[in-house]
Amino acid sequence: MSSTGTPSAPSVAPTAALPSRLVAEALGTFLLVAGAIGTALFSSAHFTDPGAQSAISVAVALAVGIAVLVGFYAFGPVSGGHFNPAVTLGAAAAGRIPWRDALPYVVAQAVGGVVASTVLTLIGTFGPDGWLARAQDAGFASNGWGTLSPGGFGMWAAIVAEVVFTALFLLVILGVTHPERGTPFAGVAIGLTLTLGVLATLPVDNASLNPARSLATAIYGGVGPLTQLWVFVVFPILGALIAGFTYRALFDAPARA
C-alpha cells in the first residue's frame, strides 16, 4: 500500500525467493502463449488456411493484452510480471532487477512458452482430420517476413517494427511500475500498450515483441519460422535494452544540485 492508502503497483524488484519467481514467470508466460496463440490458432482461419483473410486480428490483440493484464496482477507481486525475455533484459538495463536474475528468468519464460505451445499442439491432435497438419504447414501462428508475413513485408520491416514497438512497450512498463511514480493501474496500461503493439505489427510479422512467444510457435511451425526466429529473438531484446538504458539515463538519473 502507498502512504495514501491506495494499492501500489506490483514491485519491479520483487523480494520472493528466486524459485518462486521463476515458477511465476513460467506460469505467466504459459498463460500469455496459451491464450494468445490459442486464440490465433483455434479462432482464426488465417493460420490454418494459407491465403485466407483474417477477420480476427482484434481478438488476437485483445487476447494478448488480457493475458498480460491478468498475469501481471496474478503473478506480478511474486516475480514482477515480465513473461518476456525482452522485458526482463530491459528491466535489468534499467536497474530494476539484478543482471544475475536475468538468465534464470529468460529460461523460465522460454519453458513456460514452449509448454503452452505443446499443450496447444496436443489439443490440435484431437481436432478435425488434418487440422494440426494444416496449422503447422501454415506456420503455427509463427512470426516471419516475406512469404511468412501476413502483409508481405520484408525482413527490415520486421526488424524496425520489433525494435520500435518493443522499446515503446518497455518504456511504458518502466514508467507505470516505477517504485516512486508507479500506478496501481499498471497492469491495465501494460495490457493496453501490448494490445496496441500487436494490432500495429500483426500485418507486418505476426507480432512478436516477445522472444519466448516466437520460440514457442516456431518449434512447431516448420523450417521457415525456425530459420527466421533469430530476428524475433535479437531485435525485441535490442529494442528493450535501448529503452531500458534510455529510461535510466533520462528519468532515473540523480538530480544535480
What is the reported pLDDT for 166?
Answer: 98
Residue with cell 490454418: 48
| Mean predicted confidence (pLDDT) in 220-237 | 97
What is the reported pLDDT for 58?
Answer: 83
Delimit the domains of the chain by residue range: 18-250
Q: What is the pLDDT of residues 64-91, one digit of tens each?
A: 999 999 999 999 999 999 999 999 999 9
Do 85 and 110 touch, CB atoms closer than 8 A? yes
Q: What is the pLDDT of residues 103-139, one digit of tens each?
A: 999 999 999 999 999 999 999 999 999 999 999 999 9
Specify the CATH class of 18-250 in words. mainly alpha
For 111-143, give the DSSP string: HHHHHHHHHHHHHHHTSSTTHHHHHHHTTTT--
